[in-house]
Amino acid sequence: MEMEDMFQDLFRLIGEANRAFGLNCPCMTTARAYLQMAEDATFELLKHVLDDDEYKRLRASCEYSQRHCLQDEEWEGVAYFMEMFWHGVYDGFFGNSKNDDDKYYIWGYKKIRRRI
């Protein structure tokens, strides 16, 4: 699987978690399971990086995301953070222009763009 596909799979998992929160009868167990799979998927991205500098930046993004998610007490907040942060990382990783003003998106974009 290519890096682009890995990111799309990550976004799919986050989307499934958001859908589980939004159901008429929200299923927190399902939502948490998808968020855990999404977190695992962030670290799977590391297997597809060819450049050492990109690896370090992506690893730092994964670790930052994990720490942030562990500190958030609301599962919906975790899902929102992951969606925005990882879209920022995605755009920054692939050199797309920044296209969102959300603070989490900007954090992700800057985290992956800065040199370590």
Reported pTM: 0.90
- Give the span between the Cα atoms of 59 and 66, in whole angstroms: 11
* C-alpha distances out from residue 82 to 24, 43, 89, Å: 23, 13, 10
**How many residues are present in the chain?**
116
pLDDT at 6: 94
Domain count, the chain: 1
Express each pLDDT in 11-63 by its tens digit: 999 999 988 887 666 778 888 999 999 999 999 999 999 889 999 999 999 99
For residues 89 and 46, the answer to whether their CB atoms sit within 8 Å is no
- Give the span between the Cα atoms of 42 and 83, in whole angstroms: 12
Q: Residue 33 belongs to what domain range?
A: 3-113
